[in-house]
Chains A and B, each alone.
Chain A
Amino acid sequence: MTNLAFYTLSALAIWSGWRVFRVDSMIRATFALMVSFICVGGIALLMSADYIGIATVFMMAVEMMVMGLFMVMFMMNPAGLNPMQMVHQHRFSIGAGIAAFIGLTVAVLATNLPNNPLPAGRDTLHNLGVELLGGSMLIFETAGVTLLATMVGAVVLSSRRGRFGDSDAGAVPPGLQPGGQPAGRKVEKSGGHGGHGGDGSHDMNMNMNMKGAPKSDDAPHKGHGKMPEEES
């Protein structure tokens, strides 16, 4: 029974991990990665790591949701539904993939993995708490503060208001011809619709991430399609 659960969860984890690179949308990739992590959490549960297993599920659910949102926000693909190329820098990533696979395989084969079943009724939760707030406290607190700083940075980056004024102030879409008039709707400065001024610049460049975007872009597919595993 446990074996069956283990193999099912492992297969699903690997399959959804593979799907991350085969789907054509940021949202699908994000949630495929989430399914993969949830399966790993399930495997942790099988290993009697009650807290870690379930905490993985809820951390990953929140994290992937936030990550999907930020990716869509930063990459101007408003829905995440537009098909886009999710893999890039092919040669480098193939090399990195092979190197990582060999490294991890060697690590797994070379490590002397423990084979002692947990005695029934042992309170893993209590032990984990003692570990977190005891010997490893410095490590976890350092990681925690670092992550907090990252979060503050992400909020600052995504905020519209900044030290030098609004981030979209003065932003204009690129011209239709080199050096020509900016594309898109002209914003009327009549003052009659005070709340709506400046919205005209938001729809710029929505096509940049789409498959088959015009090749006249300066750097097609470069800097886009950030791979989700960078955050985890």
Chain B
Amino acid sequence: MTFALALTTLILFLAIGIWIAAILDAVFYRSISGQGGVSVVSPFYAAAAHLSRQRLTTEAPDRLNWYLAIAGYLAIATIGLAVVPFGPETAVIGIKTSVVLWGACESLVVVLVFLHGWSPNSPLALIGAYRYVAIGLPIMLLSMFVLIAAALPARSLDLRDIVASQEGLWNVIRQPLGLPLFLLLGLSLTLRGPFDYADSADLAGGTSVEDSGANRAGWQVARLAMLVGFSAIAASTFLGGYLGPVLPGIVWLAIKTLILMAVVIGLSHLLARMPVARMLGLIWKFLLPIAFADLLLAGLVALA
């Protein structure tokens, strides 16, 4: 596959992924609340409704950072998807340190979500921003350990090598602690469910409370794009990415991404929320030691 083809695949993958994620989200929500009637075009209606609305603003906002946060979040999601290999040796960004690049994307998400809540100059958005940083930083530490553990059997920081190293055995079986921990990170990166301390309903929408019109549509699209990017990364790191029999690699990647996307959306609607202090205790005292154990096990296996 040439670069142009890979780029086209990336854009299609992202666009279709966002659309399916929006539908899945509505389906889960409605089935839990005992309703039916989700149409496949309803995301487009919602987007059109947002776009046709007036764009409101606050008193003395930091407009530059506000727009940068929304555009940056979408850009980071796209870069995340771009390091995912669509086939052997085929990734839009094919560098030797692609896992580190994804780590950089994760840490920039915290910065951008913070800026998104900080720049409107509005109290609820600001509270959401600070809360998110408190949760977002430790949960990112956790993902670093998990990702290093996943890179150990491949002896490489290249996501293409990590996928190739799962030819015989997927990482989800080789490192059983990895995927569950990584999915929690996904909930945090996409601002969902129990890890949504930024945009949650208890702050009337948190960092996006002041978004309206096209800004709100852009932020929601960026969140869904991040879900697609994260799921593709998780599918490549733990479920063998494009590896699979008969079907072409890109189809396998799409299937695995879809499954993980559904799992993340399901978790976000089913898991209970916690107060920030309790969540911090859970992350620092419980989840982080488990992530250590994951890395330790991977290291011992690599030495043996």
Contacts and interface: CB of A to CB of B under 8 A. Distances in A.
Interface of A: 27-28, 31, 34, 50-51, 54-55, 57-58, 61-62, 64-66, 69, 79-81, 123, 125
B97 A65 contact: no
B100 A27 contact: no
A69 B133 contact: yes
A60 to B, nearest CB: 9
Interface string B100-138: 110110111011001100100100001000100100010
B157 interface: yes
26 contacts: A28-B62, A31-B115, A34-B111, A50-B96, A50-B97, A54-B101, A54-B104, A57-B104, A57-B108, A58-B100, A58-B104, A62-B110, A62-B137, A62-B140, A64-B111, A65-B110, A65-B114, A66-B137, A69-B130, A69-B133, A79-B118, A79-B121, A80-B118, A81-B118, A123-B96, A125-B96
Given A31-B65, A61-B108, A61-B111, 17 more contacts: A31-B111, A31-B115, A34-B111, A50-B97, A51-B97, A51-B100, A51-B157, A54-B97, A54-B103, A55-B104, A58-B103, A58-B106, A58-B107, A65-B133, A79-B126, A81-B62, A125-B96
Contacts of A123: 96
B137 A65 contact: yes
A125 B103 CA distance: 16
B40 interface: no
Interface SS of chain A: helix
B161 to A, nearest CB: 12
Contacts of A79: 118, 121, 126
Nearest to B61: A81
Interface in B84-109: 95-97, 100-101, 103-104, 106-108
Interface SS of chain B: helix
A17 B108 CA distance: 19
A44 B130 CA distance: 31
A34 B112 CA distance: 12
Nearest to A27: B118
B157 A125 contact: yes
Interface in B180-230: none
Nearest to B144: A58
Contacts of A57: 104, 107-108
Interface of B: 62, 65, 95-97, 100-101, 103-104, 106-108, 110-111, 114-115, 118, 121, 126, 130, 133, 137, 140, 157
A58 B109 CA distance: 10
A81 B121 contact: yes
B100 A55 contact: yes
Contacts of A69: 130, 133
B286 to A, nearest CB: 19
Contacts of B114: 65
A125 B107 contact: no
Contacts of A55: 100, 104
Contacts of B101: 54
B154 to A, nearest CB: 13
A86 to B, nearest CB: 15
Contacts of A54: 97, 100-101, 103-104
A112 to B, nearest CB: 30
Contacts of A62: 107, 110, 137, 140
Contacts of A65: 107, 110-111, 114, 133, 137
Of all A-B residue pairs in the complex, the 6 with the closest CB atoms, nearest first, are A58-B104, A61-B107, A57-B104, A58-B107, A50-B97, A54-B100
B281 to A, nearest CB: 14
A57 B110 CA distance: 13
B113 to A, nearest CB: 10
B157 A61 contact: no
Contacts of B157: 51, 125
A112 B71 CA distance: 42
Contacts of A64: 111
A58 B111 CA distance: 11
Nearest to A50: B97
A62 B140 CA distance: 10
A98 B118 CA distance: 35
Nearest to B68: A31
B136 to A, nearest CB: 8
B171 to A, nearest CB: 21
Contacts of B140: 62
Nearest to A41: B104
A106 to B, nearest CB: 34
A80 B108 CA distance: 19
